[in-house]
Amino acid sequence: MLVAALAAGGFAGTERHAHAGGVSYVALGDSYSSGVGSRTYYESDDECYRSPAGYPALLSAELGGRLDFQACSGAGVTAVRVNQLDALDAATTHVTVSVGGNDAGFARVLTACARPWPYTCWDEIDSAKTVITESLPGRLDTLYAEIVERAPNATVVAVGYPRLFNGEQCNLAAQITPSEQAELNATADLLAEVTGDRAAAHGLGFADPREAFLGHAVCDSAEWINGVSYPILESYHPNRTGYARGYVPVVADRLAAGVPAA
Active centre residues (catalytic) = 31, 237
Alpha-carbon distances of 170 from 3, 179, 219, 229, 231, rounded to whole Å: 21, 15, 6, 13, 18
Distance between terminal CA atoms of the chain?
Answer: 40
Q: Are 238 and 32 in contact (CB under 8 A)?
A: yes
- Dihedral sign for Cα 141, 209, 95, 29, please: positive
Q: Are 17 and 92 in contact (CB under 8 A)?
A: yes
Measured at the CA of 101, the angle between CA 181 and CA 56, to 5 degrees, comes to: 110
98 strand-pairing partners: 29
Alpha-carbon distances of 119 from 106, 143, 180, rounded to whole Å: 17, 36, 11
**What is residue 56's three-state secondary structure?**
helix
Rounded distance, CA 38 to CA 214, Å?
19
Amino acid identity, residue 163? R
**What is residue 188's three-state secondary structure?**
helix
